[in-house]
Copies of this chain bind each other. A is one copy, B any other.
Amino acid sequence: MLYSIEAGGKRLRPILMMASAESFGGNYQSVLPIAIALEMVHTYSLIHDDLPAMDDDNYRRGKPTNHRKFDEATAILAGDGLLTYSFELIMRQPNITDEQKVYIVKQLANASGPKGMVAGQILDMQAEKKNIELQALEKIHTLKTGQLIKFAIVSGAYIANASKEQMEALDTFSYYIGLIFQVQDDILDVTGDPTILGKPVGSDEENFKSTYPKLLGLEGAIEIKDYYVKKAKEALQTAGVTQTILEQLTDYLSDRKY
């Protein structure tokens, strides 16, 4: 469990959650335990996705994947352990009310479970080696990565006491942020630098995966990404955030090199 947690990564989801809390006048420290639990859920999903029965990846975050470092059984159990402990961790926080804990766990389980991330991974595997439309591709990404990103942003605002209307606008913002993240992921798999990425490029092509560059061309992928950025920033305005950090993160995610 610690091997994969300590392997690093962008810590994107915790950063988004803390940025969201601060954007509504909250303190990033108030969401830190939830952000840690979220990163544990994300890490569990990477460990399981990398398994030979799934994406069969040998490297992750510049290091051997969990099942390559240890073995498959250990990797499966490390993932199971991280997922389970993430819920316990939230329950153990003294500075979060019971009502907040119930809301947070309900949302986190919903985002990562069989109607969220797990469904996305199933659909992703079913779509491999098939030609799918842009709409189906967006659905997969919205479930597989978008739901957890949405959880990060919306629950950060929730802990900072954002209004219902603000949270609805953030819901829209999160939707586009998830897609921006994924388009750039696909673009980097074509144009990225493997030494900066910490993993080989071209694996989508190799695995016959449907991607934005494949469906729209590289130019088309960049164009739709710019459109998503515009829509995301509009949603931020609707939410009336008091800081620019979420806007800065939108640009960062759109332009990131790894």
Contact = CB atoms under 8 A, between A and B. Distances in A.
B48 A80 contact: yes
A109 B80 contact: no
This chain: copies in complex: 2
Interface string A97-117: 011011001100110111000
Contact of A83 (B73, B80, B102): B80
Q: Which of A84, A121, A122 has the most CB of B within 10 A?
A: A84
Chain A contact residues: helix, strand, loop or mixed: helix
Interface of A: 1, 44, 48, 51, 53-54, 71-74, 76-77, 79-85, 87-88, 91-92, 98-99, 101-102, 105-106, 109-110, 112-114, 118, 121-122, 125
A77 B113 contact: no
Given A53-B73, A101-B98, A102-B98, A109 B88 contact: yes
Contacts of A118: 77, 80-81, 84
